C-alpha cells in the first residue's frame, strides 16, 4: 500500500507541473503529438524555443480566417513582413501571463513593419474581445475554433494542433523561423527572435 501511495503522489505532482507549464487536457509526450499532428485536445508546451536555419525552413504558410471584429485576415495581409503568430484562448492561464509581453513587443515593433496576429483556438467572439480590451491588445486575432480549425491546420507541420500557448515568428517569406512551445519567458525573448529574423532580411539585402 505504501508503494501505491508513493506512486500516486508522484503522478499527481507530475500532472500539476504539466498544468503550470501550459494548457492541456492530456499528458502525452509532446514530440509524439507533434509527429502525429492529431486534433485530440490541448497539449502543454514546455516553453522550449526552436530556431530553424534558413536553409531548413519549409514552404511559406498560407492561412486566412475571420478575426474578432468580423474582418478577414491572413497571410496575404502579412506578405513581405516579419510576422508574429500567437495561439491562445482567454481561459488559458499561461496565455494571460504572457499577454503583456506580446503587447510590449507589438508596441516596440509595429512601427518597424512587424505584423502580429493571434489565433484564438477556443473562445466565442465576446470572450476574445474582452481579453483584448483587458490587456490592451491592438492586433487582430483570428477566431479559429470552428469550421475545421483551418489556421491551426495550416501550421500543423510546424506546431502540434491545439498547442496553447505557442508563438511563432515568420520570416518575410512567410516561413516559420522561430517557435516557442508554451509560455514566453519574457518580452525580451520575443524581441530577440524578432531581431534575429529582421537581421536576416538586412543580411540578404547586403549580399545582393
Determine the pLDDT at residue 193: 97
Q: Which residues of the chain have pLDDT under 50?
A: 1-21, 24-43, 205-208
Determine the pLDDT at residue 118: 98
The domains found in the chain, sorted by start residue, are: 2-207 (3.40.30.10)
Find the radius of gyration of the CA atoms of the chain. Answer: 18
Distance CA 34, CA 25 (A): 16
Residue recorded with cell 497571410: 75
Determine the pLDDT at residue 160: 75
The SS3 call for residue 179 is strand
Contact 117, 139 (CB under 8 A): yes
Count of helix runs (H) and strand runs (E) in the chain: 7, 8
Distance CA 48, CA 59 (A): 23
Evaluated on CA atoms 198, 195, 22, 107, the torsion sign reads: negative
Closest-CA residue to 114 (of 147, 81, 137): 81
What's the predicted TM-score (pTM) here?
0.79
* Angle in degrees, CA 9, 11, 17, rounded to 5: 105
Determine the pLDDT at residue 24: 44
Amino acid at each position: 500500500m505504501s508503494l501505491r501511495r508513493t506512486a500516486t503522489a508522484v503522478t499527481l505532482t507530475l500532472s500539476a507541473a504539466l498544468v503550470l507549464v501550459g494548457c492541456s487536457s492530456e499528458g502525452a509526450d509532446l514530440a509524439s503529438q507533434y509527429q502525429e499532428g492529431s486534433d485530440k485536445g490541448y497539449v502543454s508546451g514546455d516553453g522550449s524555443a526552436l530556431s530553424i536555419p534558413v536553409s531548413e525552413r519549409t514552404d511559406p504558410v498560407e492561412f486566412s480566417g475571420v478575426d474578432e471584429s468580423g474582418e478577414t485576415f491572413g497571410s496575404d495581409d502579412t506578405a513581405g513582413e516579419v510576422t508574429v503568430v500567437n495561439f491562445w484562448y482567454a481561459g488559458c492561464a499561461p496565455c494571460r501571463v504572457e499577454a503583456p509581453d506580446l503587447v510590449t513587443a507589438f508596441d516596440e515593433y509595429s512601427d518597424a513593419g512587424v505584423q502580429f496576429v493571434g489565433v484564438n483556438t477556443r473562445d466565442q467572439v465576446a470572450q476574445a474581445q474582452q481579453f483584448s480590451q483587458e490587456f490592451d491588445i491592438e492586433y487582430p486575432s483570428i477566431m479559429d475554433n470552428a469550421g475545421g480549425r483551418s489556421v491551426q491546420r495550416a501550421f500543423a507541420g510546424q506546431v502540434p494542433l491545439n498547442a496553447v500557448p505557442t508563438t511563432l515568428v515568420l520570416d518575410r517569406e512567410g516561413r516559420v523561423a522561430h517557435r516557442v512551445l508554451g509560455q514566453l519567458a519574457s518580452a525580451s525573448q520575443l524581441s530577440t527572435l524578432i531581431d534575429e529574423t529582421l537581421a536576416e532580411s538586412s543580411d540578404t539585402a547586403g549580399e545582393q
